[in-house]
Amino acid sequence: MNAPPRARDLGITSCHVCRQITAYTEDPHAHCPRCGNTLHARKHGSISRAWALLIAAAVFYIPANVFPIMRTQSISSRDDNTILSGIFELWRAGSPGLAAIVFTASIIVPVLKFVIMGFLLVSVQRSSGLVARQRARLYRFVELVGYWSMLDVFVVAILSALVHFKILSRVEPLPGVVYFGVVVVLTMLSAMSFDPRLIWDNRKSQ
Ligand SMILES: [Zn+2]
């Protein structure tokens, strides 16, 4: 099957700020004639930067799960909850919907993102023969879920807000939620650093 040519094959490159099309050049200091932005056919150091951010995110995911993320306090008891114990607590307290949301946002989504980003990076580095379109679809999925990853932080924020309305006795966010926020930001930056055009660069044959 003949794949459509890349812009580089046609001797052109596009400015990633204003999308102006210009002649392709190897010069790393070339500037866009319209907006003056530095031109580069591919993001510089995309793979190493995406790996570094992904590994950092995975490292921060450990304290995000080990340290408590919120404290629930009533007259008789005080509980510090980690992500997992918080999910069980919500379930036990009769909020299975909220427990499911927190489980999806804080366990399923981050782990899925680690796995997919790792897979995309390895497949690009190994010039995988896997269908490029499928991998592009995976990349779009990672971008899409990125918008919803802060959900868990919002849940803690909402719970804290409920205190003011006296619906719950007392809930406070704890440092674990900061680590979780860092994980979310780092995985988003990792996905942004990854240049999806590399998927089409490294095909063995298609
Ligand atoms: Zn431009």
Which pLDDT score, from 0 to 100, does residue 58 have? 95
Based on the fold, state whether residues 111 and 28 are members of the same structural domain.
Answer: no
Question: Is the pTM value of this prediction over 0.85?
Answer: no
Based on the fold, state whether residues 118 and 139 are members of the same structural domain.
Answer: yes
Distance, CA of 196 to CA of 188 (rounded, Å) = 14
Rounded distance from Cα 18 to ligand 1 centre (Å) = 4
206 domain residue, yes or no = no
Distance, CA of 203 to CA of 37 (rounded, Å) = 29
Q: How many CA atoms lie within 13 A of 33 on its CB side?
A: 7
Rounded distance from Cα 76 to ligand 1 centre (Å) = 63
Based on the fold, state whether residues 55 and 149 are members of the same structural domain.
Answer: yes
- Provide CB contacts within 8 A for 156, sequence distance 6+: 69, 70, 171, 173, 177
Question: How is residue 90 written in tokens?
Answer: 């919500």
Based on the fold, state whether residues 15 and 73 are members of the same structural domain.
Answer: no
Based on the fold, state whether residues 55 and 132 are members of the same structural domain.
Answer: yes
Rounded distance from Cα 197 to ligand 1 centre (Å) = 19
Based on the fold, state whether residues 129 and 145 are members of the same structural domain.
Answer: yes
Rounded to 5°, the CA angle 62-54-205 comes to: 140
Rounded distance from Cα 14 to ligand 1 centre (Å) = 8
Question: How is residue 7 written in tokens?
Answer: 């812009």
Measured between alpha carbons, how far apart are the two ends of the chain, in Å? 6
Based on the fold, state whether residues 145 and 59 are members of the same structural domain.
Answer: yes
Based on the fold, state whether residues 55 and 146 are members of the same structural domain.
Answer: yes
Distance, CA of 159 to CA of 172 (rounded, Å) = 8
Rounded distance from Cα 90 to ligand 1 centre (Å) = 50
Contact 117, 50 (CB under 8 A): yes
Based on the fold, state whether residues 122 and 33 are members of the same structural domain.
Answer: no
Distance, CA of 110 to CA of 74 (rounded, Å) = 31
11 domain residue, yes or no = yes
pLDDT mean values, one per 10 residues, the chain (206 residues): 76 87 84 89 87 95 88 74 82 82 84 91 78 85 77 65 58 79 88 86 56
Rounded distance from Cα 13 to ligand 1 centre (Å) = 11
Domain around 35:
1-41
Domain count, the chain: 2
Closest CA to 130 of 51, 202, 54, 47: 202
Closest CA to 73 of 144, 158, 3, 173: 173
Based on the fold, state whether residues 37 and 104 are members of the same structural domain.
Answer: no
Rounded distance from Cα 123 to ligand 1 centre (Å) = 31
Rounded distance from Cα 29 to ligand 1 centre (Å) = 14
Contact 30, 45 (CB under 8 A): no
Based on the fold, state whether residues 2 and 84 are members of the same structural domain.
Answer: no
Which pLDDT score, from 0 to 100, does residue 158 have? 65
Contact 91, 103 (CB under 8 A): no
Which pLDDT score, from 0 to 100, does residue 205 have? 43
Contact 163, 71 (CB under 8 A): no
